[in-house]
């Protein structure tokens, strides 16, 4: 975790160091500001053609962990300056009073690796990509955000986007694409529940209709049950009333068989 000092606010890219990265041999791009001056909200890299603007832009994204590459760079080793064995980009990021140094190196024929140095560290230490991703997330930086990092070619391409493509680009850039997908998913769920609800309503109406058809039969059955109960009552009373007579008849029969 990075310690925060309340008297220093914001995140600010102080410096970019490039070594054998594309057209740069060993150069530094210093974005330092004057004391007591607020950090800029965004940075513009301007200059004549072939002055290395795109290289600096690509270097910053590379060091922040982006795996996006310009169409001109098919593999990681394409970032390495001609005739050199490796390329390295180092960023100095001011974060709440601390300077966080992030370094990413690629050796020809190998995958890039990360190193980091915090204020309390004496030297750079090699770290796993997951640690860098956690740090970059803590810094609230997304190197693949289309609005945070806009290349010169991307600006030209935006002008030619169709309305639907432009809408999709804007949604992704401001973080609404995931929200739209979630809304559409929720909409599918609501539609599915509505279909299920309509099915239940249809079944209810069918059962109510059948119940209306069965109501007269049920009423007749209830009347029949009442009549059977009455008949049983009178039958029991009749048998009880003739109990003595039946008892005498039984006794006569028993005597006759003796």
Residue 88, domain CATH: 3.40.50.300
Which of residues 176 and 104 earns the better pLDDT score?
A: 104
Same domain, 135 and 186: no
Residue 250 within a domain:
no
Same structural domain for residues 22 and 117?
Answer: yes
Q: Are residues 110 and 189 in the same domain?
A: no
Is pLDDT above 50 for 185? Answer: yes
Burial 162-183 (b: 16+ CB within 10 A, else e): eeeeeeebeebeeeeeeeeeee
Q: Which of 14, 1, 10, 12 is nearest to 96 (CA)?
A: 10
Q: What angle do CA 114, 10, 27 make, to 5 degrees?
A: 45
Same domain, yes or no, for 185 and 137?
no
This prediction has a pTM of 0.58
Q: Give per-residue pLDDT as tens, 17-31.
A: 999 998 899 999 888
In a domain, 167, yes or no: no
Task: Return the top range by mean pLDDT from 40-44, 68-72, 97-101.
Answer: 97-101
Domain boundaries, position 42: 11-144
Distance of alpha carbon 41 from alpha carbon 195, whole angstroms: 49
């Amino acid at each position: 975790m990075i310690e925060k000092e309340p008297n220093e606010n914001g995140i600010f890219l102080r410096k970019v160091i490039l070594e054998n990265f594309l057209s740069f041999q060993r150069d530094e791009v210093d974005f330092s500001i004057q004391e007591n001056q607020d950090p800029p909200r965004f940075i513009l890299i301007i200059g004549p053609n072939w002055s290395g603007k795109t290289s600096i832009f690509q270097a910053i994204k590379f060091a922040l962990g982006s795996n996006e590459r310009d169409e001109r760079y098919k593999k990681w080793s394409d970032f390495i300056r001609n005739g050199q064995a490796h390329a390295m980009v180092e960023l100095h990021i001011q974060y709440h009073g601390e300077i966080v140094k992030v370094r990413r190196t690629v050796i020809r024929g190998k995958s890039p690796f990360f190193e980091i140095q915090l204020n309390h560290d004496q030297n750079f230490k090699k770290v796993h990509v997951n640690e860098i991703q956690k740090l970059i997330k803590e810094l609230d930086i997304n190197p693949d955000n289309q609005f945070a990092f806009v290349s010169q070619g991307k600006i030209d391409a935006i002008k030619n986007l169709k309305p639907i493509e432009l809408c999709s680009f804007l949604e992704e850039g401001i973080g609404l694409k995931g929200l739209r997908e979630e809304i559409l998913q929720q909409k599918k769920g609501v539609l599915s529940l509505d279909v299920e609800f309509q099915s239940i309503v249809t079944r209810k109406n069918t059962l109510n209709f059948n119940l209306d058809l069965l109501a007269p039969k049920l009423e007749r059955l209830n009347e029949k049950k009442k009549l059977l109960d009455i008949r049983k009552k009178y039958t029991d009373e009749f048998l009880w009333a003739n109990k003595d007579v039946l008892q005498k008849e039984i006794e006569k029969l028993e005597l006759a068989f003796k």
